[in-house]
Structure formats: structure tokens, C-alpha cells
Structure 1
Amino acid sequence: MLTEDQIARYSRHIILKEVGGKGQKKLFDGKVMIIGAGGLGSPIALYLAAAGVGTIGIADADVVDLSNLQRQVIHQTKDVGIAKVLSAKEKMQAINPELTVNTYEEWISAANITDIIKDYDFVIDGTDNFAAKFLINDACVLAGKPYSHGGILQFDGQTITIEPGKSACYRCIFPTPPPKDAIPTCSTAGVIGVLPGVIGTIQATEAIKFLLGKGELLTGRLLTYSALRMRFREVPIKKNGKCPICGDNPTITQVVDELDALNVCDLEK
């Protein structure tokens, strides 16, 4: 039973026939894990909090830096030097005090990721390096956890949703990581500040749709976005029978750190 305050807070959800009171209850009961409290994680965390997702986990070992504030909208100038997960939690609970926000002030690695994601319904990748992205993919596929991949660089972004056992995974597209430092990160190549807002909001939408059981998820389709050209493009992606983790004869049966441990989870800075 919704309280009067909850009915007022979520009234624009409740009047949607796809949501209603029952759908809002599903959001209350939902658990979403966000890995990365930076550019992508910021809009994801804010919108999931506002939507009333009842339990949200957020993992990041970094602290807020002045250079983050150009795009990481969950953090403020007063937060410089504070752990990103604590800064994010403060803003999320300021929007919605009813939330449970679980913070993980640590880099994800093969040693901890399975335990971190195990209690969540949906996982969101808000990281900015290939080692972390492959680690998240592998952990979610092996655990059967649906998740949203997102990536941003300069003026371009991409996102896809993976449902293990049903859709193509990240390794179906990219079987192995590129050589270390072959592709620059946002900290070395730059990123337009609004870009993570576009991609992160789409990722948050996917999580909400999944919890509601409504709409068509972004599975089997890699959505790319060019801010300079203001164009979206969908690239059909099929399950790859030769995929090393979800193919016919998988060779990956446990999570491992692809690159040296110091760089495994250098989240979006």
C-alpha cells in the first residue's frame, strides 16, 4: 500500500498504464548495482533514485577531483576530496530518503565482483576501461545477471543490454580486450561533458524497464551515438557461437583480471 506522500512523489509514474501502483512496487522491490560513480554513474544513480528503485549499490574507490565536475553531475565543488560513493549516496538520498544505498568503496576485481553483484537484479557498467568492461561482462554472464554496458569517449557513445543465455554478450562483439593503452580513455582523450548524460540516462531507462518487465530491452542491438552529428545508429548483434564465454564451447569458466591488477578498475575519472 502506497502512502499519500509516495502517491504524490510517484504520481507521474502511477498514471502510466505500463507502471501504475503495481509497477511502482516492483521498482521499490528492485535492486540495481552501478559500477562506477563517475560520468555514466552520475545520471544513472540520480534517475534510479528519483524513480524509486528501492535498493541501489554503487562501487568506486576513487575520490572526487575538480576535473570530474565538468560531467559528473552527482558531485559538487564541496565534494572534492570525498569518496565518490559517499558523495553519490548523499545526493541520491537527498532526492529520495526512502532508498537503501549500498556503497562499495573499492576497485572491482576478479576477487570481489561475484560477491558484489550476487544480490542485485540488474547491473550497470559505468566504467571507462576495457579490463573492467570485460570483467563485468564475464561476471554477469557466469552469474546469469542481466546488465547494461555503456561506453563514452570524446563525442561518441555506445550502449547495449545483455541478458545472459538469451542475447549476445560483450565478448560476442569483442572477444578479447585490445592491447593495453591501444585506445585512449576519457582522461587522456577528453569527453564532452553532456555525453555521459545521454548514454547514462539510456542505461537507467533499461534498468527501469527490466524491473517493470515492460517494453523492449536493448538486447541484440548496439546503440551508438554521435554528439557531433547528432545521430543514433543501431547495429544488430547476434550471439556468436564462437564466443569464449557464451558460445557453443566456452573457454572462460571463471572471472579473471584481464590486465594487470593496478589497471583493472581505473573507473571513469
Structure 2
Amino acid sequence: MFQFTEEQIKRYARHIILPEVGGQGQEKLLKSKVLVIGAGGLGSPALFYLVAAGVGKVGIVDYDVVDFSNLQRQILHNTDRVGVPKVESAKQTLKALNPDVEIVTYNQMVNKDNIMDLIKDYDVILDGTDNFPTRFLINDACYFAGKKLVSAAMLRFEGQCTVFDFTDKENSPCYRCLFPEPPPPGMVPSCQEAGILGSIGGIMGCIQATEAIKVLLGIGEPLIGKLLIMDALSMDFRKVKLRKDPECPLCGKEPKIKELIEYDHTCEARF
């Protein structure tokens, strides 16, 4: 039987008293593994709450360094770490928060040659990236690997989140059911061009962490087959159904995509 230390009982007390979590649920979290791709505006809050929750192993993938322009929303980092690789900055912050958690860093760009190795040992993948080519690559890789994927996006004052459960490929839609192909370059502005309210990343990243924890614990109703859309200016939240597209080039009845595709990164956008 799993034995919590005295410190763990104190640290996770507010989880343990929840009937939906309890000691067994906290033990499950401590034995779980989550990979977060992107340590930026979405990844920062998601990582904070996953590590605070006691997810036993958390992987962080990012190839960028901390920049002053990141600090308005990427709360894992600080002014003293400008120029430091984001994965190193993230690890420093997260180890100080919860030394219980094993933090594994991957200071590299995700591509079709490494993504299957990156995701293979993790239970749930979080997509916190900021461009269409990487989003499609993560979706396709998780589909082929049969992984659960929590995907979020943001732009200006808006955010969205959904969950794809590729352990059940027959029933779960995929990202390509929503967007079969990336839009043409320049069609959708990036955050650099259109801007982003920093707290939007906080909201959506926290939702990602919550959905991942629900999936790991097997509780509640994750956003599988549903797209949560937030408009912060009106503070409206709405959910729309995501249906599996029988013509989807990846998960449809006659799939055309049977191996990973790497798109040109000139196509930068969120939605």
C-alpha cells in the first residue's frame, strides 16, 4: 500500500479531503506523467498547477529563451532570467514549488523526427504551442500513438480549449476534424501582430491543467468532443460540439494521412 509522508499529507490535504480525489486519487496523480509542450503563456500556468497538484513526472518541451516580451504573461519566468532557456527557468520555478515532482526538460524544437520519442512515456500531453504547424504535428503524433491530448489556444481577448482522447480513436474527433489543413500564411495574425491580454493565458492554461487532472483521475466530464470558447471582453463562456468528421484526412473513414507531416512554420497563428 502506498504510504504518504507527513509532508505529503500536509501538502495535498485539500485534495485528499475531496471525495472525488481522496488518498487513492492523490496516489494516482503522484504516479502519473504529463508532458507539456511549450513553456509560454499557456504552459506557464498549466505547469504551475500540474506540479502543485503533485503529478509525479512532468516533462517540459521548449527551445526558446526568456525574453522581456514574455514576462507580461509567461509567469514561470522573471526579469533575472531573461536570456535563459525557458526549460531551465521553468524547472527552477517548479522545483521550488514542489520538490516531490520529477521535472524532465527537453530544450529542443518539436519536429516529426523527435515527437514520437518525446510523447511515448507520458499519459497525457498538453499542447501549449503558438503556431499551426506544431499544433497539427502534435495532434497527428498523439493520434498515431493513442495518447490523450489537452489542447488550448488564445489570441487577443479570446481563448479555447478541448480534449482529444486518442485511446478511443473510433469516437474521439481530432484537431483536423476542426481544421483539416493549416490556413495559408498570413491568413490569421499571430499574437505578435494582434496582441494578447496576458491573463487569457492564465485562464486557459489553468483550464488545461484542470482537464488533464480530470483525465488522469477519471472524474467529471472532460472536454472530449466539446470546444470551450471564452470571450474575456464579455466574460462569456460557451461550449460547442466537436463532431468526428467522416471525411477527416487523419481519423476519417478513408484517411489520407498515414505518417507525420511537417508544415512550413511561416504559418503562425492560434486558432
Quickly name the TM-score band, shorter chain normalised.
over 0.9
Aligned 1:20-39 pairs, distance under 5 A: 20-39=22-41
Residue pairs, 1:32-181, within 5 angstroms: 32-164=34-166, 165=169, 166-181=171-186
Indicate if the aligned counterparts of 2:188 and 2:269 stay in contact, CA closer than 8 A.
Answer: no
Aligned to 2:241: 236
Q: Secondary structure at the match of 1:141?
A: helix
- Measured in 2, the distance between the counterparts of 1:20 and 1:267 equals 40
Contact 1:127 1:267 in 2 (8 A): no
* Aligned partner letter, 1:181: G
1:181 Cα shift? 2.3
* Pairing partner for 1:258 from 254, 263, 267: 263
Q: Secondary structure at the match of 1:150?
A: strand
Of the three residues 180, 192, 199, the one matched with 2:197 is 192
Hey, what does 2:10 align to over in structure 1?
8
3-state SS, counterpart of residue 16 of structure 1: coil
Deviation at 1:267, TM superposition (A): 10
Cα 1:267–1:87 shift into 2, 3 Å? farther
User: Of 212, 226, 231, which residue of structure 2 is paired with 1:221?
Assistant: 226
Contact 1:85 1:105 in 2 (8 A): yes
Contact 1:39 1:71 in 2 (8 A): yes
Q: What is the Cα-based RMSD across aligned positions, in Å?
A: 1.3
Contact 1:156/1:226, CA 8 A, preserved across alignment: yes
8 Å Cα contact 2:42/2:202 also seen in 1 = yes
Q: Equivalent residue of 1:251, what SS?
A: coil
Moved over 4 A (4+): none
Distance 1:177 1:40 in 2: 21
Letter in 2 for 1:221: K
Taking the aligned partners of 1:115 and 1:182, their CA distance within structure 2 comes to 32
Could you tell me which amino acid in structure 2 is paired with residue 224 of structure 1?
I
CA contact (8 A) 2:160 2:230 kept: yes
**CA offset at residue 180 of structure 1?**
1.6
User: Any idea what SS the aligned residue of 1:70 has?
Assistant: coil
* Residues 221-261 of structure 1 deviation map (CA, whole Å, 9 limit, x = unaligned): 1110001111011111111111111111111111110225x
Any unmatched runs of 5+ in structure 1? none
2:213 is matched with: 208
Amino acid aligned to 2:174 = C
The amino acid of 1:253's aligned partner reads K
CA distance in 1, matches of 2:211, 2:132: 22
Judged with a 3 Å threshold, the aligned counterparts in structure 2 of structure 1 residues 24 and 267 are, in CA distance, closer, same or farther, namely farther
Question: Which residue type is aligned with residue 184 of structure 2?
Answer: P
SS of residue matched to 2:257: coil
Q: CA deviation at 1:185?
A: 1.1
Deviations along 1:82-132, one digit per CA (max 9) or x if unpaired, are 000110011111000111111010110111111100000000000111111
The question of whether the paired residues in 2 share the 8 Å contact of 1:34 and 1:57 is answered with yes
Question: The residue matched to 2:88 in structure 1 has which SS?
Answer: helix
For 2:116 and 2:197, locate their aligned partners in 1 and report how far apart those are by CA, in whole Å: 33
Contact 2:190 2:269 in 1 (8 A): no
Distance 1:187 1:90 in 2: 27
Task: Answer with 179-188 or 105-114: which moved more.
Answer: 179-188
Tell me the amino acid that sits aligned with residue 19 of structure 2: K
Q: One-letter code of the match for 2:209?
A: A
Given that residues 36 and 267 in structure 1 are in contact (C-alpha distance below 8 angstroms), is that contact kept between their aligned partners in structure 2? no
Give deviations 1:42-78, integer Å, cap 9, x for gaps: 0001000100000000101000000100000111111
Percent identity over the alignment?
52
